[in-house]
Amino acid sequence: MRRILVLQCEQEISSFNPVPTEYESFSIAMGEALIEANRQADTCVRGALDVLGARSDVTVVPVYGAKAPSGGVLRADAFRRIKGDLLAALREHAQGADGLYFSLHGAMGAEGELDPEGHLLEAARGILGPDVPIVTSLDLHGILTARMLRNMTATAVYHTYPHEDFIDTGARAARLLLRIIDTGARPVMARVKVPALVRGPELFTKSGCYGEIIRNAKRLEANVALAAAMLIGNPFTDVPELCSQSLVIADGDVDAAKREALAMAADFWRQRERMRAPLVSLDGAIEAAKTATAPVTFTDAADAPSSGASGDSNAILKGLLQRGYPGRVLMPIVDAPAVERAHAAGVGARLQLAIGGSLDPERFPPLPVEVRVAMLGEGRWRHEVNGLMANAGRTAVLEADNITLIVISRPVHLMDRGVFLAHGHDPRDFDLIVIKSPGAYSRFFTFAEENFVVDVPGATSANLPLLGHKVCARPMFPLDPDVVFEPEVEVYPA
């Protein structure tokens, strides 16, 4: 029997979110609870479990799982606790292991440890020894570090953005792990770092130029490669090895891996200018919305909790009020103090509240708004995008004349219509809908006449030069002018 261990440690952070992530933000599952947590979920772990569980000659050993929504940098004590528990569980089950599947994101960051995934992989390798294969799954926004590559055997990376292939990616990782164990495949990994950070609709894999690069990676996987990917990093995770990078994994054929990794990186670099977000000023978007004959959406990607932002931006709300936008508006916002006051006052009450900036007041000074409490809730709903439950804390629906605010107590992913529908509001009934996600429009809001990606402040702004990167390597496109790309191939194992 093959004895395969399963680990999970996933979070994506924005270094520019001033609110640190606490241990309590993580869902922890040990042993069989890890299987139960993923049995019906749209996750990489589920995909891996499906593949591994289908083999009669494989014993699946669920070890430990930790997963948190995107947020700010992880507290040092929280990372120490997660690391300690994860590694203790791994030591307990390591004896006789034939392989490890490790579900990671790739864009974590902790106080005092800017490469948590590399740290965990290095420790896991120390426990398992040099001969046990370790295969990971990664988000394409992950930041592959040298330490990660030195300590893993291979990886499978998402092929879609917006992400739709969680299960498939986990399944690909598990199949790759089994191939290594069954056939003695010898993965060699070639990667080329590209000094570019990218955003915008050209990254949508169904319609943008990045999608063709990913389709080429899939063609490589069908022919010469065990796995291939073009990772674009998370531009908001300001760590030393932040960049975009091509990765090609071949079975012993170093030359093929190097050749294809170089070609993919060159193709990506040639198209970098296309992969900049076409931002619209808030004033311009509001004026255009005033003359629209059908619903429009404002994408507030700068304050996307799914990318690591705090979710409490009131910038668009302030603009709409100041410019007297007349249509019906629907928008979400994180503001726990406003929710508590609404619950204390009750449905029907009229209140003067300071809306927004409860977490990031330096960016978003609280805005005085007179509201009526229309509805109160407990903040639990099922995401359309992946079937997982949201837990946003207590909620309130507040009406400020023509503006309906869905106010939640804590940041959760707002990648679909769930937050609106759970509070009795269909976005189709409004003239302007604010979406706090860079990719939700293309999947759930295409009924709108037009989508404006507005240029407003936030911890996940696509206006990358304004964020203030201090740690990542420079020069870096588009943070710096006249960036030169001199491709070099790194091969692992060396």
Over residues 424-438, the pLDDT tens digits come to: 999 999 999 999 999
Give ∠ CA 22-469-201 in degrees, rounded to 5: 90
- If asked whether residues 261 and 322 sit together in one domain, one would say no
- Judge whether 146 lies within some domain: yes
- Judge whether 479 lies within some domain: no
Residue 168, pLDDT above cutoff 90: yes
- Judge whether 169 lies within some domain: yes
Structurally, the chain folds into a number of domains equal to 2
Q: What average pLDDT does the chain have? A: 97
Residue 443, pLDDT above cutoff 90: no
Residue 442, pLDDT above cutoff 90: no
Q: What is the pLDDT of residues 48-62, one digit of tens each?
A: 999 999 999 999 999
Q: What is the pLDDT of residues 327-383, one digit of tens each?
A: 999 999 999 999 999 999 999 999 999 999 999 999 999 999 999 999 999 999 998
Q: What is the pLDDT of residues 72-87, one digit of tens each?
A: 999 999 999 999 999 9
- If asked whether residues 379 and 247 sit together in one domain, one would say no
Query: CA distances (Å), 4 to each of 8, 38, 95, in order?
Result: 13, 17, 11
Contact 155, 135 (CB under 8 A): yes
Residue 387: per-residue pLDDT: 78
Q: What is the pLDDT of residues 398-408, one digit of tens each?
A: 999 999 999 99
What is the phi/psi pair of residue 147, to 5°?
Answer: -65, -40
Residue 76: per-residue pLDDT: 99
Residue 337: per-residue pLDDT: 98
Residue 116, pLDDT above cutoff 90: yes
- If asked whether residues 258 and 293 sit together in one domain, one would say no
- Judge whether 469 lies within some domain: no
How far is it, in rounded angstroms, from Cα 251 to Cα 232? 24
Q: SS3 for 339?
A: helix
Q: What is the span of the domain harbouring residue 239? A: 2-275+488-492
What is the phi/psi pair of residue 93, to 5°?
Answer: -110, 5
Residue 388, pLDDT above cutoff 90: no
Which residue, among 146, 86, 110, 78, has the nearest Cα to 12 in the 3D structure? 110
How far is it, in rounded angstroms, from Cα 175 to Cα 41? 19
- If asked whether residues 51 and 103 sit together in one domain, one would say yes
Mean pLDDT of 106-128: 99
- If asked whether residues 88 and 182 sit together in one domain, one would say yes
- Judge whether 477 lies within some domain: no
Residue 444: per-residue pLDDT: 87
Residue 394, pLDDT above cutoff 90: yes
- If asked whether residues 102 and 224 sit together in one domain, one would say yes
